[in-house]
Chain A
Amino acid sequence: MTATTLFEKLWQAHLVEADTDGLPAMLYIDLHLVHEVTSPQAFSLLRERGLRVRQPSRTLATLDHSTPTTPVRADGSRTYLDTATEQQVDALIRNCSDFGVSLHGYDSPDRGIVHVMAPELGATQPGMTIVCGDSHTSTHGAFGALAFGIGSTEVGHVLATQCLLQHKPKTMAVIVRGQLPVGISAKDLTLHIAGQVGVAGGTGHVIEFRGDAVRALTMEERMTLCNMSIEMGARAGLIGADGTTIEWLRGRRQVPQGDAFEAAAKHWRWYRSDDDARFDKTVEIDAGEVAPSVTWGIDPGKVIAIDAPLPALSASNARAFEYMRVTPGALITGVRVDVVFVGSCTNSRINDLRDAAAILAGRRVAAHVRMLVVPGSERIKREAEAEGLDAVFRTAGAEWREPGCSMCLGMNGDIAKPGELVVSTSNRNFEGRQGMGVSTVLASPATAAASAIAGVITDPRRYQQEAAA
């Protein structure tokens, strides 16, 4: 038998009908994640056609994008940006009730950003196909699942039929060899790879992240890496299942328990590429070369090591320099920061909050900087509070918020002002992403925290070394 890629195994296992003669394949979807922003038009489609949700048990909904992150009032109510955001949330609550879909709403101790919540519950499992009307669905690929974002029309297709029509993508291997230097995070590695692959380098492909350095990552770190596959243009990101995957899932609510778990784990271990599997495209990365990395431009592929000079001015980057108001050839460290955001489906997990807190402990956020820390889920919020991280953030002068997508896309009103610069642990730095006329520098939680303290873009090693000394 020929060696097979993980992607091929996942694809073959979910074919209701194979692709033939220009007809797309019909792919079965194991888990459909739903949130309030991209689902209302899909539920309307079902109503218009008199259809039901085919598999409510394979459908899981939450509230995350439009939800306020400001404190809940004493009577349990929340302060929405406007009536439209509140109505959107109400529409999902009603749609889930009408169609029998399980919703982790405000009354659930599990509510969170959809790509944080589903893995926490153990709903995300190796060998699955997972979709959501959200491009960062690629996050779940960290578990050896084929997971990708879809549009609202396709959300309707999956609700009604549990299937999607898909043309088979190509495969791309990103092999990360060696070992990350001490203090270098998965976000730094992710940004470094995005810089190498480019913002469209993965278009038409599913990327599998491979190599020693990827195997050494924790599940949280693997999620950070797969999360930004879409920022490389890829359809999905994948990491083969291994012992790390299995131990992380053990005991979670939606995985089998006891002997059934061991049986499932044995099956899950099959979801990795065979040793000699061939990919359509391969990129090699040396982990030892990765430094704290940041974006400097207006797409996630414009990445530099934080201590390296900005590139020279060229026709292809002039617009980025103009929008970001940084100087060609200069250093990005020292550039004034107005807002710092720690959160999003990229970096709002407990390890991310610990990284930020380790630097902030005993220090203060600069007087002119506003810093928001937004946990990815209710569960992470509780865990962080049990560890006292919320106190570290508050004492340092940062705002400790309710879980949600928050300033990653600013739908709920968590935005910066025109002309401000945000150092953000999120995933996109396109023009206006965090507010009209706002500049975004994507960074790791450590770099974000260091920059908040100094009030300018700052190499986190400065504070990490102080802490070690």
Chain B
Amino acid sequence: MSGVSSITSRSVALPIANIDTDQIIPARFLTTTSRAGLGRHAFQDWRWREDGSANPDFALNRPEHAGAAILIAGDNFGCGSSREHAPWALLDAGIRAVISTAIADIFRSNALKNGLLAIVVSPLEHASLLAAAGEALTIDLRAQRIARAGHAPIDFTVNSFARQCLLDGVDELGYLLARQDAIARFEEARP
């Protein structure tokens, strides 16, 4: 995983509550044995019509949002299934950060492990971000701050361990593997 320290992009809003991981990537696309190539199916049933053409009403399809990498989503984003295909699909579709008033536990954990920032802000800050959707934002992970032109910045927190892993571009597996002696001691001590 390459490191993530700051993201600058325009935002795009998807102000729907409880967007679950089936909506982010429907189950019929989970038959892959790879992590790659899921971006085309991100938000499949909202984004594409049955004949395969783009749904012009869907925010991510609108020309003014082309290239937007910061998603401002409704409350409780990423609830439901534990599928890591959800952050894989979002990243492959060019989304690098999701901001909401609440993000489901498993999705947040999966997202951070893949370099997708999952950021929780207050309802007031969220409303302000939604009202200004399309604005340019800079998310500074080291400072834990979202900088905005013409608005006060918004502070957020990502737990320090996950943040350091993201900044350094290292994954947790290396950390765990370095502690195999402790694991072996624990296993020996068990009844």
Contact = CB atoms under 8 A, between A and B. Distances in A.
Nearest to B176: A161
Interface in A139-184: 149-154, 156-157, 160-163, 165, 167, 169
A336 interface: no
Contacts of B76: 199-200, 203, 233
Given A26-B179, A165-B175, A431-B45, A84 B105 contact: no
B183 A203 contact: no
B93 to A, nearest CB: 18
A319 B16 contact: yes
A153 B176 contact: no
B170 to A, nearest CB: 13
A311 interface: no
A410 B102 contact: no
Contacts of B45: 431-432, 436-437
A149 B105 CA distance: 10
A82 interface: yes
A299 B28 contact: no
Interface string B153-181: 00000011100000000011101110110
A235 interface: yes
B17 A316 contact: yes
A324 to B, nearest CB: 14
Nearest to A410: B27
A410 B81 CA distance: 13
B171 A153 contact: yes
Given A41-B84, A428-B80, A16 B106 contact: no
Interface stretch (B32-40, B63-71, B126-134, B138-146): B32-40
Range for the number of chain A residues in contact with chain B: 35 or more
A233 B176 contact: no
Nearest to B114: A153
B159 A40 contact: no
Contacts of A299: 17-18, 20, 79
A16 B22 contact: no
A41 B20 contact: no
Contacts of A298: 18
Contacts of A230: 80
B79 A200 contact: yes
A82 B31 contact: yes
A448 to B, nearest CB: 21
A203 B173 contact: no
A233 B84 contact: no
A24 interface: yes
Interface string B1-43: 0000000000000001110101100111011111100000000
Contact of A160 (B16, B18, B32, B177): B177
Contact of A233 (B16, B33, B79): B79
A66 interface: yes
Interface stretch (A85-93, A99-107, A275-283): A85-93
B160 A135 contact: no
A203 B102 contact: yes
A38 interface: yes
A272 interface: no
B96 interface: no
Contacts of B109: 150-151, 154
B148 interface: no
Interface string A371-409: 000000000000000000000000000000000000001
B161 A161 contact: no
Nearest to B171: A153
A23 B161 contact: yes
Among B26, B82, B179: residue with most chain A CB under 10 A: B82
A23 B33 CA distance: 32
Contacts of A76: none
Contacts of A151: 82-84, 106, 109-110, 113
A430 interface: yes
Contact of A91 (B33, B82, B171): B33
A433 interface: yes
A431 B66 CA distance: 25
A16 B20 contact: no
B113 A153 contact: yes
A52 to B, nearest CB: 12
A431 B16 CA distance: 12
B18 A432 contact: no
A233 B106 CA distance: 9
A41 B161 contact: no
Contacts of B81: 134-135, 409, 428
A40 B175 CA distance: 22
Contacts of B79: 199-200, 233, 299
Nearest to A161: B176
A450 B182 CA distance: 56
B104 interface: yes
A17 interface: yes
A233 B105 contact: yes
Given A200-B104, A203-B104, A432 B23 contact: yes
A41 B106 contact: no
Given A150-B82, A152-B35, 5 more contacts: A54-B183, A91-B33, A153-B114, A233-B104, A433-B22
Interface of B: 16-18, 20, 22-23, 26-28, 30-35, 45, 50, 75-76, 79-84, 102, 104-106, 109-110, 113-114, 159-161, 171-173, 175-177, 179-180, 182-183, 186-187
14 contacts: A22-B161, A24-B161, A26-B182, A41-B34, A149-B106, A154-B113, A161-B183, A163-B179, A203-B104, A411-B28, A411-B31, A418-B50, A432-B23, A432-B45
In the complex, the 8 A-B pairs of residues with the closest C-beta atoms, listed nearest first: A40-B33, A22-B160, A151-B84, A84-B31, A151-B110, A149-B82, A135-B82, A200-B76
